Structures are given as structure tokens and as C-alpha cells.
Amino acid sequence: MIGTHNGTFHCDEALAVFLLRQTATYRDADLTRTRDPKLLDTCDIVVDVGAVYDAEKLRFDHHQREFDGVFGHGYTTKLSSAGLIYKHYGREIISNHLGLSPEDPKVETLWLKLYKEYIEAIDGVDNGVQQYPPEIQAKYRSRTDVSARVGWLNAAWNESVDSKSVDARFEKASKLVGEEFLSRLEYYGNAWLPARELVLNGLNGRSAVNPSGHIILFEQFCPWKAGALEMARQALTM
């Protein structure tokens, strides 16, 4: 049984629940949405409620005042429940979904890539972390990100709902954000990684193309600009 809070839901716990259901342990787990400590104590794992972060006790909340957990690896955005679950279970999820050995270096590469490209923004939005200094005024308002789209699935303030219908809305939100996560994972695993490999091969063989090392030959087309330019900068400064 997975436990999380009831009432208004957010993108972070919607994704956290979906991610847990991608693991072998919680694949068929039911969900309890409550704030009752006695009911939460009956759950096998609890996310986004309970004011406790203790991975050994399978409690993953981030709302307690003293919490300052981050993903690490150079990232400083405070984690939400999505980031917490991804930090602890992300490698297993990636390995299972793509059929990779847990020891395959690709798993670690994708684990870091997915945090940067998908999870961190959800952490930031949920914790109120701004993308840029507040004195810089945005030129337009964006409310089409995945966190906003999950938020719109909540009932309106003047809409009559019961707990059963809200739970159904939560499941819809969890599916929305989770399927988008899997889509990103499949793209990075099946398209981005092969392109990255072609770029790395080109970088490693650049001296054979020209003694200066400043010319890179790609043996076939690939989308090299996203991320590849940074790898080129790193290689050329070595």
C-alpha cells in the first residue's frame, strides 16, 4: 500500500506514486490518500505527507521545516516527493523499463539526464524555487508546464466532489505526468543516447580527421547540438 495526502493534489506526489508503481515492489500497490497518521502507519511506503524523511522507514516527505535535501551531483534545487522517490528508485525504474542491467553505465547517465530535463523542474515548482532572480520581470506567463497541467485536474473551488471522485482525478493526474516521464525516458534511452555515442565517437576520433583536433567528422546524421556542444567544449579543453 502506498500512502499520500488527500485533498488538493500536486504534480510531485502524482509522479512519485507513478514512479513507485514502476518498481517491482510496488507495481501492483493500492493507494491510500489521507492525512490520518494512524492510516498512514498502515501503509508500506508514504510520500509527500507525514513530516518525515527516512528512506529506511520508507517515509518520503519534504514539508518539514528542517528538510533541505537535494539531488546532489551539482544540483541544488530542494527536492519534492517526486525528486525524493526518483533519487532512491530512479535507477531501478530506468533499468527495468529499458531492459538494461543495473550496472550498465547507461543507467547512471540516463538517471542524471532525466533529473536535469524533467524531475528538477517539478521539484522547483512544488517548492516555489524561481528559475531566475525575482527582479527580472517575465515577458509572458507560462501555465502549460506539466505541473500546471496536473493542477488543472483538481476540482474547481465551487465544484461538488467527494473523496472517491477526487481520488479518480488523482489517478488521472498520476497517469498524465507518469506517461510523460516514460516518454522522455524512452526518447533519451533510444534516441538521445545513440546520438550521444555518435558524437563521442566523433570527438574521440577528431585528431585522425585533422591534426588540430578542431574538426569533427560524423559518420551519419544525428541531432548533435543538444548536449553535444557541451561535450565538445569539454573535450577540446582537455
What tens digit of pLDDT does each residue of 12-32 get?
999 999 999 999 999 999 999
Nearest Cα to 72, choosing from 58, 83, 61?
83
C-alpha cell belonging to residue 214: 578542431
What tens digit of pLDDT does each residue of 68-101 get?
999 999 999 999 999 999 999 999 999 999 999 9
pTM tops 0.85, yes or no = yes
What tens digit of pLDDT does each residue of 107-133 get?
999 999 999 999 999 999 999 999 888
3-state class of 49 per DSSP?
coil
**Is residue 30 within 8 Å of 3, Cβ to Cβ?**
no
Q: How far apart are CA 180 and CA 191, in angstroms?
A: 16
pLDDT confidence bin for 227, thresholds 50/70/90 = low
